Chains A and B, each alone.
Chain A
Amino acid sequence: MKILVIIPAYNEEATIKNVIQRISLKMPQADVLVVNDGSKDNTSLEAKRTGAKVIDLPYNLGIGGAMQTGYIYAKENNYDIAVQVDGDGQHDPSYIKDLIEPIISNSADVVVGSRYISKTNYKSSVFRRMGMIFFSFLVSILTNQKFKDTTSGFRAVNKDVINYFSNHYPVDYPEVDVLVRLKKRNFRIAELPVEMHERQGGKSSITTFRSLYYMFKVSLALIIGTLRSSEE
């Protein structure tokens, strides 16, 4: 089984090296690909120093476009499993083997590492928490499946989903949107409890100021998305 770990990174020079090294330590059989989304700092250089594969986007495409670049790479190079991990150190690589386990045993097409199920020491702001609860509620209604953490970017997918993502991937704030799209195409999504750390450096792409706009935009996209004909 060929496994690719995709790390989308925008200005993560402080943490990227550490993240890659921890992944290589826990998952020596996997290839690591950093998609540098037009960073203005030394993210690319720091990543290359570790020997990881690095794709440099010439300008900032946004998380959706960057993630999709990783999935196109996975498809072209014939990977069986792709795992996405944030570049800021929030996601603990020791859980990757748990994430890919249901995919190897073919009991799920997509596995989401959720910070809300049971054991977790992750703390977030009240406001952010409210948004997450709101999205869980909305996505659960739209998909008819209970989701605890729809915004987690810690995920593993199989080959069918890699193929699908390389053709269709939402542009803005894709984590939530993608669940609804996948579910509509009858992919099996599983959620798995993982521990998450506080981000070790850099800044979250979601600021309080933008949160409301974000919630509005994603909700709209989700609702219109369910009306969309079965593809594009």
Chain B
Amino acid sequence: MIINVYSLSIMFSVFFLLLVIELVRKNKLQERYSLLWILMSIILLVLSSTPVIIETVSRWLDIKNPPSLLFLFGLGYLILYNLGTTVTVSKQSERITRLTQELALLRQKITEKDS
């Protein structure tokens, strides 16, 4: 087996896919958050095992070095995924704030009743 960007990329995608599945199996990652990671590793696996795809696309886009398309894909995916994560964080922090408020209001009500 020749070590080049494609074979490295294949190994990485397989390793990553197994890692994601293992995390879900151990309940350390929820299924709904794992779907997009699994999708990414499968796309990466396909792209790196059939170089003809990215070579063709590279020709269309006038990219001199086809493997850089792999990086572009990876980078774009990560940026979008990260945006999605901050959306999730925003939603959660809003919910945590609400929970905190409800909790404080309840505690006030209880101490008022006691006294």
Contacts and interface: CB of A to CB of B under 8 A. Distances in A.
Interface of A: 53-59, 61, 65, 68-69, 72-73, 76, 171
B108 A53 contact: yes
B112 interface: yes
Contacts of B101: 57, 61, 65, 68-69, 72
A59 B93 CA distance: 13
Given A61-B97, A65-B97, A56 B104 contact: yes
Given A59-B100, A69-B105, 9 more contacts: A53-B112, A56-B108, A57-B100, A61-B97, A61-B101, A65-B100, A68-B101, A72-B105, A73-B108
- Chain B, interface residues (CB within 8 Å), range: 10 to 19
Which label, helix, strand, loop or mixed, suits the secondary structure of the A interface? Answer: mixed
B105 A73 contact: yes
Nearest to B97: A65
A51 to B, nearest CB: 11
B105 A58 contact: no
Which among B103, B104, B112 has the highest number of chain A CB atoms within 10 Å?
Answer: B104
Contacts of B100: 57-59, 61, 65
A76 to B, nearest CB: 7
Contacts of B103: 58
Contacts of B25: none
A62 to B, nearest CB: 9
Interface string B76-103: 0000000000000000000001001111
